[in-house]
Structure 1
């Protein structure tokens, strides 16, 4: 805590009109540098948060929060769905059968992960119905051998609604000419688009009974997909479910399935934060040069204060107050500007695009036409605290030099 004397003199030096206008200019540059650095940090991290949130919502709109599976099949899947649905931390449950397959049409082939679903229950765990761009999920009927494909996958195969595709499964059939993979023709009755290439180019949906028939599971399901009340608690809830079921099923959650992808996003955000924080660091260390020049300019004043009884500690506190004031004002302006810009970046970008007839985000490439932004209080607090701490550290050396000023030497030529 600064003493009132040091606080008063330090703030007076900050407000006073200096003889050396160059020092005032450097102080202003330091303050503006901190302000711009913090604004850049907040806006960039907010946009990255928005992108990550958008990607996460799209992935989890198709993937489940948690999955229980048994490759040999779960015959009493309806009882398992009913039991899991009664848990307070489970919002929805639905059975599924997954098939690693190859799709063929007119000489074109492409690998795809096909999922057998029950249309009436799938809405409880995914957003497939909202992602449909042609056809309807309700058209998936048992025994009809219909299929819904991702938009990009359909384009690669050259098919549309009403065309036939051949599904090649890993199950083998014994034929007079030898062992052959199972082949079955399906009719394309719908297309979906998520905005993620993994799904749009590599996924398809069919009725669960058709998928079970292809995999020779009979009336069984391969597993049950769950939607939880809190997706961030998915690892803990998944373990609790596994223990409650005595480990009968393999249980996984979205943090395991997409671990590498989300870890890469976190690493990207962390490295971008470090790189942008260097802008704040450069501006903060400009305070060092500013205060060094102020100390040199105020040597006579320091000597007089020392002669009147001011201790070295008080002298040091005076210049720490002055440098910290620059940092505080710069940090406050940066936080206010960054938060306001982060909240309105979508509207600002839209206005610039409309004014200059340009497009920063091509929907055909990024699948979004707006710049998402998610300003998080935790990020703002960390940025402000880091910038403030850096400015305080930047004042230590110049303040220490001021405290070591020898009054006799400083007043010799005055």
Structure 2
């Protein structure tokens, strides 16, 4: 929208209503603030939702892979053959054996349900677990050492620390004339880790895969094979040969199936939040409409005089559309700046709100993650900016047309 010097001067003058037009200035100010808050809220919420999904995806796939090949009875006896097929499949990055078994853990009279995970030594030390140790030494967790690593939340619930012992209770024990006697084995806690996902930190007991096979009496078998691929979105297509090779022994389950309810809920919530927060921008656009209608009514005499001096209807249309578009642009820029500041200090804002209210606003047992995540998506930001500008133009069109259609003869007849 190109303006002449005269049109630019008039539009600039109308952005700052004159003396006696304070109510117009207030409405214009509220319109600008409304647009700013709407843009900021939409960008912040969409970024937090994107960060929440991305953080969950990164952490879950780092621990569980893009897919797993699970044995039908919890035991994968011919895992070496299946792992070899997986490693030879194009698009597969890694295929490693894994054992996961829910058991009970007790210490000093406290009992908690746990998920015992047996992993290869290099996967423990070089993977997510080894990089998330908060206490102790992961190097002490070695085959035959009788040492384990546990999650931070589990350590808190059991009231244990590094050097303490926990007893793992397995229902697969010795058979006697009176029934099966549960197998109870004590282990020393050598390290405590915190991966940042509450469900993992409260349940995982990690040990070398050989110790897990001994505890669960699996022999040389494992529970599953964890597979990483080059493209998580094409995991089903990539692992089709692996699923064929595992037929009869187990099944392939990808990250979408393992966490389907969680990621589907996040997708629905993301769309819902976008629709709800877009209403704020629509309301702000209505404020622009009302402020420009008031401005046109207040400037009717000025418009008539400008028309008699040679201003065209196109000039009036451009002037008032420029006023509305400027309000939308200023509000959009202000909203983006406000969103950037909030996202940068987001965890500090959450901590301050918790301190003031005395409430735990980010309970990891509910939110899964221990900190508020955020990941800005350029497409979401561009979509928000485009939507705001388009709405500003659309809601500016009516008062601008009304100003352009002003009949100077009717207005100045009795002047």
1:158 & 1:148 partners in 2: Cα distance? Answer: 15
Under a length normalisation based on structure 1, what TM-score does the superposition of the two structures give?
0.78
Equivalent position of 2:157 in the other structure: 156
Q: 1:77 to 1:363 in 2, by over 3 A?
A: farther
1:108 & 1:346 partners in 2: Cα distance? Answer: 36
Correspondent of 1:234 among 229, 232, 235: 232
Select between 214-223 and 75-84 the one with higher mean Cα deviation: 75-84
Work out whether residues 10 and 319 of structure 1, in 8 Å CA contact, stay in contact via their aligned partners in 2. no
Equivalent position of 1:204 in the other structure: 205
Q: 1:338 to 1:253 in 2, by over 3 A?
A: farther
Equivalent position of 1:102 in the other structure: 104
Aligned residues: 401
Equivalent position of 1:116 in the other structure: 118
SS in 2 for 1:374: coil
Q: 1:189 to 1:12 in 2, by over 3 A?
A: same
Work out whether residues 146 and 186 of structure 1, in 8 Å CA contact, stay in contact via their aligned partners in 2. no
Work out whether residues 150 and 200 of structure 1, in 8 Å CA contact, stay in contact via their aligned partners in 2. yes
1:78 & 1:361 partners in 2: Cα distance? Answer: 51
The answer to whether residue 7 in structure 2 is matched with residue 13 in structure 1 is no
Equivalent position of 1:332 in the other structure: 333
Report 1:213-292 matches (<5 A).
213-229=214-230, 233-246=231-244, 248=246, 249-292=250-293
After superposition, the C-alpha distances for 1:381-403 in whole angstroms (9 at most, x for unaligned) are 12211211221121133234335
Equivalent position of 2:376 in the other structure: 375
The answer to whether residue 293 in structure 2 is matched with residue 296 in structure 1 is no
2:27 & 2:96 partners in 1: Cα distance? Answer: 64
Select between 179-188 and 381-390 the one with higher mean Cα deviation: 179-188
2:89 & 2:217 partners in 1: Cα distance? Answer: 31
Work out whether residues 66 and 251 of structure 1, in 8 Å CA contact, stay in contact via their aligned partners in 2. yes
Work out whether residues 103 and 167 of structure 1, in 8 Å CA contact, stay in contact via their aligned partners in 2. yes
Q: 1:311 to 1:164 in 2, by over 3 A?
A: same
Q: 1:362 to 1:63 in 2, by over 3 A?
A: farther
Work out whether residues 151 and 202 of structure 2, in 8 Å CA contact, stay in contact via their aligned partners in 1. yes
SS in 1 for 2:414: coil
Structure 2 residue runs of 5 or longer lacking an equivalent are none
After superposition, the C-alpha distances for 1:368-414 in whole angstroms (9 at most, x for unaligned) are 99865433322221221121122112113323433554444323222
Work out whether residues 142 and 210 of structure 1, in 8 Å CA contact, stay in contact via their aligned partners in 2. yes
Q: How many angstroms does 1:359 deviate by? A: 12
Equivalent position of 1:42 in the other structure: 43
The answer to whether residue 187 in structure 2 is matched with residue 187 in structure 1 is yes
Work out whether residues 69 and 250 of structure 1, in 8 Å CA contact, stay in contact via their aligned partners in 2. yes
Select between 111-120 and 29-38 the one with higher mean Cα deviation: 29-38
Work out whether residues 172 and 183 of structure 2, in 8 Å CA contact, stay in contact via their aligned partners in 1. no
Structure 1 residue runs of 5 or longer lacking an equivalent are none
Equivalent position of 1:345 in the other structure: 345
CA RMSD, Structure 1 to Structure 2 (Å): 4.0
Report 1:388-399 matches (<5 A).
388-399=389-400
Equivalent position of 1:411 in the other structure: 412
SS in 2 for 1:16: helix
After superposition, the C-alpha distances for 1:69-108 in whole angstroms (9 at most, x for unaligned) are 2235334434543443455644433201221222234443
